Structure 1
């Protein structure tokens, strides 16, 4: 019996080691629908990078888009919209949307989330939960007296839900999820996120088991790789460590995040989204116990939601809470 147990444990340890060493994400062909749309974007007027200091002393980057002159309701408090980009990306990817929100009368802060762009080491975090700390540190370092919206796109939309369902939810009065990633097993998910991401499932499972046992020393290993073309790799984040992959999304029990979300919550997605099943968001949130208004933008695919003029105009309408939600 002792020999059998020893052999079984040895085999399990060997399997675990092999999963860690060889079970990472595979290379994935570039996804044109994600890479190509940015070639037509005018980035000539992107604001200069600003910085704030997080609690660990790291300097993190963000972009400031002030409210356009002559906009905003007379006497109404200025609303700030804090933008969270999608997976692999950075603040400047939301430049078109940020300009539209500023033209609508809002102050806009687009963040380079840690592990992306000019914020920290790309693809890495120190611990799960650091992104929430960073957002709170931004709010404290760059205070705003008026109401605030947290608006996130794709993986950033999933992180926005994570924040909305947390004990820091009162820091914003309004949350907008743009085509959010919720979970790989959610009804909204397509296989491999529609061809955008390669998941190293053996390594992911092994690291999850180790973390449940309190072992996190290998959390820096990559578990996600994205379908970037070679030209985009220099400015974006090609892969995520386990730590970043687990933090830049909802919690594992994403339905609990939905139930726990308080305040005003809205979902906007492209009707032709190729990464997620956009028509399933409404039922999913209702089934989780927190029905949320969903707007599907006709003719918009995943990236088009933040780049095409009609879609961006539709998104901008929902940057503040609506007394009577529009369909």
Structure 2
């Protein structure tokens, strides 16, 4: 190879790589997945007529975190983290079940969802933890003597695991993961979450590469779309940016997060979950934390766990002292089945 040819090659290769990355960022998307009836239908059937009015908690950057509160007498509180594409209102049935059991519940719209911040995006990875730190300080100011649990559903469950194993792990007294997303490489994961998500693989690969090069300019672009039903675009979040997807997500070392969790944790999932393999959770988690209780609820699907009485009761049971569990679960079931959800 002549010197001139070598010079041309040295120049051409980086240019070709740059052009390839640019094309992957610009055009590496995917069509939205077909709507999943099993995910959307249970939420549509929920009674929202008594949905509490929204309230606001000021955050450190001046944004208001929008939330709903379900106050109960007693010294126990639960913060409910919704799943992907959703908002705090999707936790309405669960929040009412907890309230009926004497547990005050707070259901925020996480930043990038509902009425908090810009739909589908955040400013940086880690902003959700900053928001949560502000929100828990706000709740502790209202309930200074309370035992506070953090409960997350689906992607929210994966995010709660991230919190439990991270720097905020000691901020809560109990963690409950409901049908948690553990990451696309976890053995509990069905392909593409059973059809719920369509990842933009080429764009993701390009953005990961750019991030490793210290380039973050394009991380506000969407990298995953959800199988939401037509007409729900004004209510639900249709896609996540790269940085929101990275943050509202368990760590890559999700088993390490289980291992590092400093407070009691419970995992509950429906046996008929459409997005995850319910029968694989216990064996996986118990390889690192055999003390974490994993409960599989017969006959329930993914969303059923936060909407139907048996699913709500399993969460109440996870938070209830053993001496009171049967009574509180029974009370919750009676109230829910009487139509109070």
Q: TM-score range by the shorter chain?
A: over 0.9
Instruction: Note if 1:125 corresponds to 2:122.
Output: yes
Task: Decide which structure has greater helix share.
Answer: 2
Structure 1 residue 4 displacement after superposition: 2.5
SS at match of 1:279: helix
1:14 aligns with 2:11: no
Structure 1 gap segments, 5+ residues each: 73-77
Bigger radius of gyration among the two: 2
C-alpha spacing 1:289/1:37, structure 2 compared with 1 (3 Å): closer
Deviation at 1:324, TM superposition (A): 12
3-state SS of 1:60 partner? strand
Which of 133, 136, 139 is the equivalent residue of 2:136? 139
Unaligned runs of 5+ in 2: 1-5, 327-341
The number of equivalent residue pairs is: 318
- Pick from 37, 43, 63 the counterpart of residue 68 of structure 2: 63
2-structure distance, mates of 1:294, 1:174: 14
Post-superposition shift, 1:141? Answer: 2.4
Conserved? CA contact 1:258–1:290, under 8 Å: no
In structure 1, what is the equivalent of residue 294 of structure 2?
294
Q: Do 2:317 and 2:325's aligned partners in 1 also have CA atoms closer than 8 Å?
A: no
CA spacing shift, 1:321–1:185, aligned 2, 3 Å: farther
State TM-score, norm by structure 2: 0.89
Distance 1:95 1:264 in 2: 24
In structure 2, how many angstroms separate the alpha carbons of the residues matched to 1:297 and 1:201? 34
Q: What CA distance in whole angstroms lies between the structure 2 residues aligned with 1:313 and 1:325?
A: 10
Spell out the pairing of 1:124-273 with structure 2 (5 A cutoff).
124-143=121-140, 144-145=143-144, 146-273=146-273
* CA contact 1:54–1:137 (8 Å) conserved in 2: yes
**TM-score relative to the length of structure 1:** 0.93
2:38 maps to which residue?
A: 33
Counterpart position of 1:52: 57
1: CA distance, partners of 2:25 / 2:322: 48
| CA distance in structure 1 between the aligned counterparts of 2:130 and 2:290, rounded to whole angstroms | 25
- The equivalent of 2:78 in structure 1 is 81
TM-fit CA distance, 1:318: 0.8
Mapped to 2, the partners of 1:323 and 1:180 lie a distance apart of 27
Task: Say what the alpha-carbon RMSD is for the aligned residues.
Answer: 1.8
Pick which of 55-64 and 283-292 moved more.
283-292
Distance in 2 between residues matched to 1:190 and 1:291, nearest whole Å:
25
Query: What is the Cα deviation at residue 322 of structure 1?
Result: 5.4
Paired with 1:251 and 1:300, the residues of 2 have a C-alpha distance of 27
Runs of 4+ in 1 over 2 A off after TM superposition: 1-8, 141-144, 286-291, 319-326
Secondary structure of 1:317's counterpart equals helix
